[in-house]
Structure 1
């Protein structure tokens, strides 16, 4: 059953970090006063009892973009928050598309998960066919959602945009070539581009302190697609990743973890095999990750990981959100009060969606260096601006980002996809 609602270069290290003496707390807007989504859909699976949601926060030129997640306990409120975040991402990165999100309340480890995803996509087909461009998210890898789209005769999960192209076959080929382009480490470009952007958000933060990567430490909660790629590229850049966490617990080495070795030990759900850990790795409780003594904390696992109850555990100088909605508004206000800024998800992890649209629009191709260069330049510029506003005027990064996102959008002609 489906129901619908339509409401209204290295720099010498400095010895002290410039922080605002009276940091501004983020603006916490009551839910009743937030802009309402353009549309909400709910789907109920008669086979398993799973419940799925599609929330379209904004439409631009008839299109909205946002991944589909699957996790036990997913709620409509969560999907609304994520759709709002997607709208912020597309606006902040000047993409000609609105924001949306799909979510399914079901365990992705259940043997029936792929069938549930297929039935959800079939139910959402009117939107998938013409308006909603989706992709991977928590619990739904890109290869799985693409397999579902193939079964439905839709080719690939960017179908709603590809079908508008002047040459859909050529655009589909460009997208597939880009997603499957090989990069160093044995990875695919489409799997790592988002984490690459997060890594450079972290590197930009270090640059803002005048600190080299080798002098900077980082902890990463979650080593799946996003967190794992961020860890890999930070390690490659020379930053010391001392602490990582997955669902089984926290791993720590003060001298820096061998990230490539740990990533090779992951299973399909982003969990590291403890039986084959390298020597010198300390095993800690899962919650220890938030209190790691590091410069940068990267929550890259679940939404709402940092809450008022655990925000005082955070010891990092800055939080860089790789997971969507990783910090609750109340927790972010508490962190700001302690002088700890949060680089918001709709900037830090927006590299994946920005790159997908650059690829669709033909602004990048399947040459990884072109994509990396473009994303690195833009991410460093944006994060530098966010942290400058924080250190110089006490304006939180989220408030600065919201001002970018809230700027009136230009009148858009129909999206031209070559």
Structure 2
């Protein structure tokens, strides 16, 4: 038997939810496959005149509740299984957030930090040339993810508008610069949503006053979460990144730590383990595992069975995608340590992306307080929905409740639509697209739908 893939993890969660809901077999069958997978290769001319090729993907999991929406990651770990898994989980995340979108996800297998600015731009434009016939505000909307941000979304937007004939289409992408139709409140949305999820769990558990917090991952989401929790009076006692973990039981001077690790633009320039002001005589991991709140904000499967057995926290809030292994999940549930699951806790960015899309369609700009109020109301409503679902079906964890709630919502839309006799699920292999230094291209002839 081969190694379980990321998509297998989704299938296992789906199977459990399907049994609880006694799901229609036709709906269950469709939720096990993607509606559409576009894959290809982008070949770019490098600054030195050589050429390099990069595998690219865009997956649209399910359209029953509306156009698909989801991030685009640039990372060396990107593969077809991971993109399909993340697209499927985006379907469920949008359902939990009561957003009328399905789930999409895209990616390029690349170390973007090994590329120059010009090479990154050529790669982004080549990516849009590959997927453009199958995206648009009423079909599928790419957003930022690991390794991408406002700059990549700006290049995506510009290339897409060129392809469709110059028509402005701010709603086609989210996570853009504010000056190009991006939303206020987007930069800290994922972290702020997780803070609201944290406060909802604290209310449920009757926790009041200052709590200690450990954060696993000090990128964008982890850094913002730390600052927001610090501003609310909590104590950050442990922070980690790929280099390791640092801890201070009395609490870090978070602003000093942030300024040490990041430059003025917010770009991370140093490892947390290079920070000089912490006590190296203590066991930093033991301190981290003793925090009241443990917040994984890095990559998949970092909380394994061993860590789950050692953890002493009151609860876990998942800012990362799939940070707990399946075995760790079972151990934590057995020990009675609640986990706020990723498909709910990390939904802040999804919610504000939806707000950005609405603003793009209406050609409006919402004030930040309107965005934040909208996000807060939805995060507390969603927590209540999951709590009620857990109680109704007598489930062991909020993760199970989240999947049951989401699958039920998507299944209801699919049942109303019907059409189960139609052929479902397609994989589209696009010929290689080559992008030269002058941004000219060789590849398939582009035939594109209008954005409206």
What TM-score do you get using the length of structure 1 for normalisation?
Answer: 0.76
* Greater RCO (CA < 8 Å, at least 6 residues apart): 2
Q: Does the Cα contact within 8 Å between 2:96 and 2:382 map onto a contact in 1?
A: no
State whether residues 218 and 297 of structure 1, in contact with CA within 8 Å, keep that contact through their aligned partners in structure 2.
yes
Q: Decide which structure has greater helix share.
A: 2
Counterpart Cα distance in 1 of 2:94 and 2:133: 22
1:358 to partner: Cα distance: 2.5
CA contact (8 A) 1:265 1:273 kept: no
5 Å matches for 1:107-256? Answer: 107-111=111-115, 112-129=119-136, 131-153=139-161, 162=171, 176=180, 179=183, 181=184, 189-214=185-210, 216-256=211-251
CA contact under 8 A between 1:74 and 1:105: conserved in structure 2? Answer: yes
- The alpha-carbon distance between structure 1 residues 153 and 358, as it changes in their structure 2 partners (threshold 3 A), is closer
Q: Secondary structure at the match of 1:212?
A: coil
Q: Deviations over 1:247-298 (max 9, x none)?
A: 2221211122222332223346645455984634659899x38952112211
The 3 A distance-change label for structure 1 pair 132 and 279 is same
Q: Retained in 1: the 8 A contact 2:352–2:371? A: yes
**CA offset at residue 382 of structure 1?**
2.8
> Which residue of 2 is the match for residue 11 of structure 1?
none
2:96 paired residue among 70, 92, 96: 92
What do you get for the CA RMSD once the two structures are aligned?
3.6
Measured at CA, do residues 276 and 401 of structure 1 come closer, stay the same or move farther in structure 2, by a change above 3 Å?
A: closer
Decide whether aligned partners of structure 1 residues 173 and 318 sit closer, same or farther in structure 2, where only a CA change above 3 A counts.
closer
Provide closer, same or farther for how the CA distance between residues 143 and 113 of structure 1 changes in structure 2, counting only shifts above 3 A: closer
What's 1:36 paired with?
33
TM-score in terms of structure 2 length = 0.71
**1:358 maps to what in 2?**
355
Deviation at 1:82, TM superposition (A): 0.7
What's 2:423 paired with?
none
CA distance in 2, matches of 1:275, 1:196: 26
* Structure index of larger Rg: 2
Equivalent residues of 1:355, 1:371 under 8 A apart: yes
- C-alpha change, 1:146 and 1:309, in structure 2 (3 Å) is farther
- Pairs aligned (count): 369
Q: Return closer, same or farther for 1:104/1:310 CA change in 2, 3 Å cut-off.
A: farther
Q: Structure 1, unaligned stretches of length 5 or more?
A: 1-25, 165-171, 182-188
Counterpart residue number, 1:6: none
Contact 1:322 1:349 in 2 (8 A): yes
- In structure 2, list runs of 5 or more residues that go unmatched: 1-11, 19-27, 44-50, 418-450
